[in-house]
Amino acid sequence: MALSLKNVSFSRQVLPVVALVGLVIAVLYIVTGLPDRELEEPSREPPRATGELAGQNRVAGAGIVEPSSEIVSVGTALSGLLTAIRVEPGDIVQQGQPLFTVDDRAARASLTEANAQIAEARAAIAEASSARETADRQLALFRNVEDPAAVSRSEVIRAEGEAAAARQRLELARSRLSAAEARANSVRTEIGRLTVRAPITGEILSVDKRVGEFVSAGGPQGAGSEPILQMGETRPLHIRIDIDEEQATRIKEGAPAIVSPRGDASRQVEAQFVRIEPLVVPKRSLTNSAAERVDVRVVQAIYALPMSEEGFRVGQQVDAYIPARESAR
Amino acid sequence: MIWIAIRMLTGDNQKFYGLLFGIAFSTLLITQQLVIFVNLIERGASSVYNVPSADVWVMDPVSRTTDVNFPMPSTALDKVRGVAGVEWAVPHLRASASVRTKSGDLEGVSVIGVDDATLIGLPKNMVVGTTDVLSRPDTVIIDDVGTTRMFGEASPIGERLELNDQRAVVRGIADSIPSFTSQVTLYTKYSQALRYVPGTRNRLSFVLVGASDEISPEELTARITEETGLRARTRDEFAQDGINFIIENTGIPLNFGITVALGFIVGIAIVGLTFSLFIRDNIKQFGALKAIGLTNGKIAQMVAAQALMVGLVGYGLGVLGTVGFIYAFSANPTFKGFYIPWQIPLVSFASILVIITLTGWLALRSVMKTEPAAVFR
Amino acid sequence: MSGQPSLDQAGGNGPAIAVRDIARDFVAGQQTIRVLHGIDLDVEPGNLTYLVGESGSGKTTLISIMCGILFPTEGQVKVFGTDIYDLPDRELVRFRLQNIGFIFQQYNLIPAIDAAHNAAVPLIAQGMDRKEARDRAAEMLDKLNIGDQANKLPNQLSGGQQQRVAIARALVHEPRLVVCDEPTAALDAKSGRRVMDLLREVALAEDRSVIIVTHDNRVFDLADRILVLEDGRITHDGTKMPKDH
């Protein structure tokens, strides 16, 4: 019969085998070719509410780290060149500690000038006193001459006049002295104002001007002028959390919030409630858009980071979860 | 007798190959067209499936698909994060932009902004480079099919593009399934994407959500919608939305439906004609067999065996052809990610069964009607 | 080989086939044509019987009814004592398979299988293993002197060889009735005689009857009995042909 090798039938044996192999290949191809649509865990940890907050209602918000004093932008009252900066970013300074000085050469020149005027006034006083003495003595001499014929009447009158003039010159010189002293004092005050001192105890956050740059008075609120340095009390740090006004009513005031820095969501810190800002403000961009025009208004809640927490920096963005009130909704 | 039936079938080469061709061709036509159809409309879901980690997509109530979206205010992210059962939520931006290439051409691209910190929203795999390149300034990652569209064979790594007057440098190629329009896709960080896309007031296209373990994505979507008023869809629902959008807005289903129907009709025509010719040729033999003493049941078994043989072998060859086709074109960017859903071979198998049952039944009827006495005439 | 319903009743002396009062109508359009009119006939076992008649005389109808493939309109047919048209359909089919061998005028061999397999068809249909059936068929082909052609396909054989294969097929399952339709029609006188000799020699046995439908007058002398049919009636029954034929 026809089952020997040379009698293998193409249509009866080869084709079915080809078809079968084709089906097997197809099954394999289909099985291995199915698209990978498995859900997987994100490779980097996203911020998540943990612990008690995980399963219950909460309010989420983006926040920013700030000093508990908020940021103090230190400026100068007098314009001029910066001649010395006494602190570096990160320095802890005490209240009243000098921070920087503005060029005081003009003021010091004025002081020298004032001092010279004082000296001049003093010399004038000395000269006027000796002139008055001379005149007084002459006048006394003429007065003591009994013989009217020995001294002419006119001589006496002249001597009296000289004595009076010398007294007046002395007065003048004295008032010039006090004027010069007053001026010297005012110049000294000015020199004092050219050295700016720390308004509060805190940490230097940034120094934005370099020695030799011109700084102008007016402070950061003035148009176009930048702060010379920024400082603030960083012990403790505060967090200012923006919360959509629609959500704001749900906040459980007083309860601690869970915050984690952007990009390090595995790190979660409990921050204590401080206050809620009484003023509702338009949302400030925390999404880095340059010109964001938003119709969303936000309530800002302030929380204090524990003093022991390292690694939070002023200005850093955080994701925060705040417990919601039980009765919410 | 089955053995004899198969011999009878294969004894007539012309008709046997005719039958095989008819079945194989129908299988190929039905299977291949269905595969292309399914894959084509599933392109509507590719954007969703390219994001491997999001259980739920949250969007503005009027958004329909990944491409037809209406942006939300950025606080929507916090609203979603406030819903219990949301394990995590990250912003996701999808917008179209025009890019100016080095040669000065203008090319429409989709810009996708993924969460800065976690990079959730990037495809699962990279072809070139790692996702870490996004931490370098002005970095964009281009999708692999877009690469060929925009740069051809040349490597795009290091190429400078101009997006909304901003500089963008290609530093990586992502392995992703192209969208329906095969538009070039540029992945970048959310913050960067805000700069690349001309500004409007609201920018946040989607919030991608991971559901916590205690809650199913379906429950979570209902809860998110109830608490935030935003539209929330599970991954599969949203993928289906994308598919439905294409079905509703293109003529593709009709066109492919016609081709599949043609395959079916051609199959029936070729196989039916050939098979009844074959039976007619053998009607005397069948009559003799009936006279000798074969019951109608046995005869039916023989015809069924012949039909099944033709059907199975032809089907196998047709499926092999389809696999070969898909395999041969898998390197082509147009066919990137094409696969054969396991249901389709079953559908075509059912069609083939219908074809051979129908034609076999028609052929059998003439055999059944044959009087055994006819052999004496 | 289960069930040979005929065996018990087939007493050694009874007729092989008993036809009683057979009539058969065909419906052609509006009118009914009666082609057989009350045929009564007994065929003895071990006989070679000729059924002779012009075309249209009803001989094909009669032979069909006698071998169980055409229902009579009236009457009764007993084959080896079994009233075959009383059997359920399936039983009738099986009865044919067990007891009747057919030799068709055009042989009706299956072109796709070799001679031995063609001859083995009745055995295979009975459910015998294909190899065994083929071996038995090959033996039968040997008896018919075409054992060397067993592996050839029908279209590789000459007409005479094909007919021998058809004869082998009719005999391989050792039926007790062999029906043969115009076996010599396509053959010259010499070959026709040889076939008839062969049939007498191989097919005819003590308990086996052979009925041959023919109008080939060259071979009339080989019959045990000749029946002549005209217009649906038996007009002659004898060992020789009537003179007027």
Question: Higher confidence at residue A52 or residue A229?
Answer: A229
Q: Judge whether A59 lies within some domain.
A: yes
Examine the pLDDT at A324 and tell me if it is beyond 50.
Answer: yes
For B346-369, give one letter per residue: b (16+ CB within 10 A) or e: eebbebbeebbebbbeebbeebee
Could you tell me if A185 and A203 lie in one domain?
no
C-alpha closest to that of A240 among A269, A266, A276, A216: A276
Neighbouring C-alpha atoms within 13 Å toward the C-beta of A173: 20
- Quote the pLDDT of residue C82: 87
Residue B195 binned pLDDT confidence (cut-offs 50, 70, 90) = confident
Question: Residues 208..237 of B with a Cβ closer than 8 Å to A: which?
Answer: 210, 212, 214, 227, 235
Q: Looking at chain B, which residue has its C-alpha nearest residue A260?
A: B117
Residue A273 binned pLDDT confidence (cut-offs 50, 70, 90) = very high
Q: Looking at chain B, which residue has its C-alpha nearest residue A17?
A: B313
Q: Judge whether B214 lies within some domain.
A: yes
- Residue count of chain C, please give it: 245
Q: How far apart are the first and last CA of chain B?
A: 25
Q: What are the pLDDT digits (tens) for C14-27?
A: 788 899 999 999 88
Question: Higher confidence at residue A329 or residue A248?
Answer: A248
Q: Would you say B73 and B173 are in contact if contact means Cβ atoms under 8 Å apart?
A: no
Q: Tell me, what CATH number does A310's domain have?
A: 2.40.30.170
Q: How far apart are CA B83 and CA B227, in angstroms?
A: 7
DSSP secondary structure string, B55-113? SEEEE-TT--SSSS---B-TTHHHHHHTSTTEEEEEEEEEEEEEEE-TTS-EEEEEEEE
Examine the pLDDT at C8 and tell me if it is beyond 70.
Answer: no
What total number of domains does chain B contain?
2
- Per the DSSP assignment, residues forming a β-bridge with C237 are C227
Chain C residue numbers with beta carbons less than 8 Å from the beta carbon of B11 are: 110-113
Q: Would you say B195 and B30 are in contact if contact means Cβ atoms under 8 Å apart?
A: no
Q: What are the pLDDT digits (tens) for A88-112?
A: 998 999 999 999 998 888 888 999 9
What total number of domains does chain A contain?
3
Chain C residue numbers with beta carbons less than 8 Å from the beta carbon of B4 are: 110, 113, 117, 121, 124
Q: What are the pLDDT digits (tens) for C130-165?
A: 999 999 999 999 988 888 999 999 999 988 899 899
Chain B: closest CA distance from residue A294 (Å): 6
Q: Would you say C222 and C214 are in contact if contact means Cβ atoms under 8 Å apart?
A: no
Chain A: closest CA distance from residue B66 (Å): 17
- Quote the pLDDT of residue C117: 93
Examine the pLDDT at B23 and tell me if it is beyond 60.
Answer: yes
Could you tell me if B363 and B265 lie in one domain?
yes
Interface of chain C toward chain B, CB-CB under 8 angstroms: 60-61, 63-64, 69-70, 89-90, 93-98, 100, 102, 104-106, 108-113, 117, 121-122, 124-125, 130, 169, 181, 213
Helix (H, G, I), strand (E, B) or coil at C234: strand
Q: Would you say A313 and A262 are in contact if contact means Cβ atoms under 8 Å apart?
A: no
Q: What percent of chain B has pLDDT over 70?
A: 99
| DSSP one-letter code for C15 | -
Q: Give me the mean pLDDT over the C173-196 stretch.
A: 86
Q: Tell me, what CATH number does A203's domain have?
A: 2.40.50
C-alpha closest to that of C161 among C172, C170, C174, C152: C152
Could you tell me if B20 and B101 lie in one domain?
no
Q: Do B74 and A283 touch (CB under 8 A)?
A: yes
Q: How far is CA B214 from CA A163, B80, B120, B232, B235, in A?
A: 110, 17, 22, 18, 17
Q: How far apart are the first and last CA of chain C?
A: 44
Which tokens hold the place of C141? 């082909």
| DSSP one-letter code for A224 | T
Q: How many CB atoms lie within 10 A of CB C25?
A: 13
Residue C120 binned pLDDT confidence (cut-offs 50, 70, 90) = very high
Q: What are the pLDDT digits (tens) for A141-196?
A: 888 877 777 778 888 888 888 888 888 988 988 998 999 899 999 989 988 888 88
Residue A5 binned pLDDT confidence (cut-offs 50, 70, 90) = low
**Residue A118: partners with Cβ closer than 8 Å, 6 or more residues away:** A177, A180, A181, A184
Helix (H, G, I), strand (E, B) or coil at B169: strand
Helix (H, G, I), strand (E, B) or coil at B346: helix
Residue C2 binned pLDDT confidence (cut-offs 50, 70, 90) = very low
Q: Does the reported pTM lie above 0.80?
A: no
Give the least confident one: A32-36, B126-130, C7-11, C53-57. C7-11
Could you tell me if A96 and A209 lie in one domain?
yes
Q: Judge whether A64 lies within some domain.
A: yes
- Quote the pLDDT of residue C122: 93
Partner residue facing B84 (CB), from A38, A56, A290: A56
- Quote the pLDDT of residue A6: 54
- Quote the pLDDT of residue B370: 81
Examine the pLDDT at B111 and tell me if it is beyond 60.
Answer: yes
Chain B residue numbers with beta carbons less than 8 Å from the beta carbon of C61 are: 373
Chain A residue numbers with beta carbons less than 8 Å from the beta carbon of B337 are: 35
Q: How far apart are CA B224 and CA B56, in angstroms?
A: 10
Which tokens hold the place of B83? 């819903």
**Domain extent at residue B167:** 73-229
Residue B56 binned pLDDT confidence (cut-offs 50, 70, 90) = very high
Q: How far apart are CA A206 and CA A228, in angstroms?
A: 9
Q: Give me the mean pLDDT over the B100-110 stretch.
A: 81
Q: What are the pLDDT digits (tens) for B254-308?
A: 988 898 898 888 888 888 888 888 888 888 888 899 999 888 889 999 999 999 9
Q: Do C125 and B373 touch (CB under 8 A)?
A: no
Q: Give me the mean pLDDT over the B101-115 stretch.
A: 85
| DSSP one-letter code for B115 | P
Domain boundaries, given as residue ranges, for chain C: 6-238
Q: How far apart are CA B137 and CA B196, in angstroms?
A: 13
Could you tell me if B210 and B150 lie in one domain?
yes
Q: Give me the mean pLDDT over the C60-79 stretch.
A: 90
Chain A residue numbers with beta carbons less than 8 Å from the beta carbon of B49 are: 35, 37
Could you tell me if A92 and A206 lie in one domain?
yes
Q: How many helices (DSSP H) and strands (DSSP E) are in chain A?
A: 4, 15
Residue A128 binned pLDDT confidence (cut-offs 50, 70, 90) = confident
Q: Would you say A33 and A295 are in contact if contact means Cβ atoms under 8 Å apart?
A: no
Examine the pLDDT at A217 and tell me if it is beyond 80.
Answer: no
C-alpha closest to that of B333 among B225, B167, B94, B173: B173
Q: Do B119 and A43 touch (CB under 8 A)?
A: yes
Order of strands, sheet of A80-85, starting from the edge strand that comes earlier in the sequence: A195-197, A98-102, A80-85, A214-215
C-alpha closest to that of B278 among B297, B316, B306: B306
Could you tell me if B32 and B96 lie in one domain?
no
Q: Do C100 and B285 touch (CB under 8 A)?
A: no
**Domain extent at residue A167:** 106-193
Q: What are the pLDDT digits (tens) for A277-303?
A: 888 887 765 444 444 455 678 889 999
Q: Do C117 and B4 touch (CB under 8 A)?
A: yes
Which ipTM was obtained for this model? 0.87
Could you tell me if B6 and B152 lie in one domain?
no
| DSSP one-letter code for A12 | I
| DSSP one-letter code for A152 | -
Q: How far apart are CA A304 and CA A299, in angstroms?
A: 17
**Subunits touching B (CB < 8 Å, at least 3 pairs)?**
A, C
- Quote the pLDDT of residue A2: 44
Burial (CB < 10 A; 0-12, 13-18, 19+), residue A272, is: middle
Q: What are the pLDDT digits (tens) for A21-60?
A: 989 998 998 888 888 788 888 877 787 776 666 667 788 8
Q: Do A41 and B53 touch (CB under 8 A)?
A: yes
Could you tell me if B177 and B305 lie in one domain?
no
Q: Judge whether B240 lies within some domain.
A: no
Phi/psi-derived region of residue A163, left when phi > 0, alpha when psi is between -120 and 50, beta in every other case: alpha
β strands within chain C, DSSP E: 17-28, 31-43, 48-53, 74-79, 82-83, 100-103, 177-181, 209-213, 225-230, 233-238
- Quote the pLDDT of residue A50: 67
Q: What are the pLDDT digits (tens) for C74-118?
A: 999 998 888 999 999 889 999 999 999 999 888 889 998 999 999
**Subunits touching A (CB < 8 Å, at least 3 pairs)?**
B
- Quote the pLDDT of residue B180: 86
- Quote the pLDDT of residue A291: 47
Examine the pLDDT at B208 and tell me if it is beyond 90.
Answer: yes
Q: Do B78 and A49 touch (CB under 8 A)?
A: no
- Quote the pLDDT of residue A289: 46
C-alpha closest to that of A309 among A274, A258, A275: A258
Could you tell me if A151 and A222 lie in one domain?
no
Helix (H, G, I), strand (E, B) or coil at B304: helix
Q: How many CB atoms lie within 10 A of CB C225?
A: 16
DSSP secondary structure string, C180-213? EE-TTTTS-HHHHHHHHHHIIIII-BTTBEEEEE
Fold of C6-238: Rossmann fold (3.40.50)
Question: Residues 163..192 of B with a Cβ closer than 8 Å to A: which?
Answer: 177, 190-191
Q: Judge whether B239 lies within some domain.
A: no
Cis peptide before A236 (omega within 30 of 0): yes
Q: How far apart are CA C199 and CA B298, in angstroms?
A: 30
Q: How far apart are CA B307 and CA B292, in angstroms?
A: 23
Q: How far apart are CA B202 and CA B265, in angstroms?
A: 53
Could you tell me if A81 and A225 lie in one domain?
yes
Q: Give me the mean pLDDT over the B17-24 stretch.
A: 90
Q: Do C112 and B3 touch (CB under 8 A)?
A: no
Examine the pLDDT at C56 and tell me if it is beyond 90.
Answer: no
Q: Would you say B78 and A60 are in contact if contact means Cβ atoms under 8 Å apart?
A: yes
C-alpha closest to that of A48 among B347, B117, B72: B117
Chain B: closest CA distance from residue A207 (Å): 25
Q: Judge whether A24 lies within some domain.
A: no
Mutate to test the interface with A, among B31, B35, B51, B75 (most CBs of A within 10 A): B75
Q: What percent of chain C has pLDDT over 70?
A: 93
Q: Rounded to the nearest 10 degrees, how much is the dihedral formed by the CA atoms of B45, B50, B56, B59?
A: -70
Q: Give me the mean pLDDT over the B219-242 stretch.
A: 92
Q: Judge whether A20 lies within some domain.
A: no
**Residue A158: partners with Cβ closer than 8 Å, 6 or more residues away:** none
Burial (CB < 10 A; 0-12, 13-18, 19+), residue B332, is: exposed
- Quote the pLDDT of residue A218: 64
Question: Higher confidence at residue C153 or residue A246?
Answer: C153
Q: Would you say B177 and B43 are in contact if contact means Cβ atoms under 8 Å apart?
A: yes
Q: Judge whether A300 lies within some domain.
A: yes
Residue A225 binned pLDDT confidence (cut-offs 50, 70, 90) = low
Could you tell me if B221 and B259 lie in one domain?
no
Q: Give me the mean pLDDT over the A105-124 stretch.
A: 90
- Quote the pLDDT of residue A52: 65
Q: Judge whether A10 lies within some domain.
A: no
Q: Do C108 and B373 touch (CB under 8 A)?
A: no
A134-142 LR contacts (CB < 8 Å, sep 24+): A134/A166, A135/A159, A135/A162, A135/A163, A135/A165, A135/A166, A136/A163, A136/A166, A138/A162, A138/A163, A139/A163
Q: Give me the mean pLDDT over the C213-218 stretch.
A: 83
Q: Give me the mean pLDDT over the A201-219 stretch.
A: 84
Could you tell me if A262 and A131 lie in one domain?
no
For residue B28, which amino acid is it? L
- Quote the pLDDT of residue A329: 43
Q: Would you say B319 and B345 are in contact if contact means Cβ atoms under 8 Å apart?
A: yes
Neighbouring C-alpha atoms within 13 Å toward the C-beta of A244: 21
